[in-house]
Amino acid sequence: MATAHDRAVLRRIFHPDAPFGELSGESEEEELEGGARADDAFDPQRLEEATRLEMQGVTAAEAGDLDDALESFGRAIELLPERASAYNNRAQAFRLKGDVASALEDLETVLRLSQESGPVARQGFVQRGLIQRLRGREEEARRDFEQAARLGSPFARQQLVRMNPYSALCNQMLSEVMKQLRGRQIPPGEASSGVGGPS
């Protein structure tokens, strides 16, 4: 059976859009634990084969062979149709291939199978939010990122901040202030006593 390390490698390789924070630290441990608990319901031999097929699909996708990746993910789904992980990975392959409709269909299945909770659902919401954002559907993307953030996704929280127009304006103003401060020469006495000098 695949080890926790194997599953971590699978997640890192096949979810390149997620920042490292999304797949490392506590989030990764929780994801691996959550995935292991969800996987306990399946026959160990079928689970091992499905996981092997998923890893084979990841390898193919990484090599640029999306058709082979889709075939491997499809076989994993046929083997364990009630396991959400392969649908998440197949959705990513569909998206990379430009088949957004099929990706969204698989993500709906992920959310249904996971009952919109846990690490697999969190990743499903993030993927669907990214697709919605790319399609210009900001409100749908915001809802998906809100759901993912409630499930503990730091990446989704970052996206929500970026989507907030007031936050974007504040960030722009702060950036301009920082540029001005970097260009200003600070006299030696002023640096130690603060910006306004001694009070």
Render pLDDT for 137-189 as a digit per residue (tens, 0 to 9): 999 999 999 999 999 999 999 999 888 876 656 667 777 777 777 776 555 55
Average pLDDT along the chain: 79
Render pLDDT for 22-38 as a digit per residue (tens, 0 to 9): 443 334 444 444 455 56
Length of the chain: 199
- Is residue 38 in a domain? yes
Above 60 in pLDDT, residue 193?
no
CA distance 27 to 47: 23
- Is residue 60 in a domain? yes
Q: 39 falls in which pLDDT band (50, 70, 90)?
A: confident
The CATH number for 77's domain is 1.25.40.10
| 142 vs 1, higher pLDDT | 142
Structure tokens at 107: 């993500």
| Average of per-residue pLDDT across 123-128 | 95
Q: How far is CA 67 from the centre of its chain?
A: 22
- Is residue 36 in a domain? yes
Least confident of 111-120, 128-137, 155-164, 181-190: 181-190
* Cβ contacts of 116 within 8 Å, gap of 6 or more: 125, 147
In the three-class reduction of DSSP (H, G, I as helix; E, B as strand; rest coil), residue 98 is classed as: coil
Range of the domain at 55: 4-184
- Is residue 160 in a domain? yes
Least confident of 85-94, 137-146, 185-194: 185-194
CA distance 69 to 24: 24
| 198 vs 184, higher pLDDT | 184
Q: Is the pTM of this model over 0.95?
A: no
In the three-class reduction of DSSP (H, G, I as helix; E, B as strand; rest coil), residue 152 is classed as: coil
CA distance 177 to 184: 11
- Is residue 190 in a domain? no
Domains contained in the chain, number: 1
The span from the first CA to the last CA of the chain, in angstroms, equals: 67
- Is residue 113 in a domain? yes
- Is residue 77 in a domain? yes
Instruction: Specify the pLDDT at position 198.
Output: 45
- Is residue 162 in a domain? yes
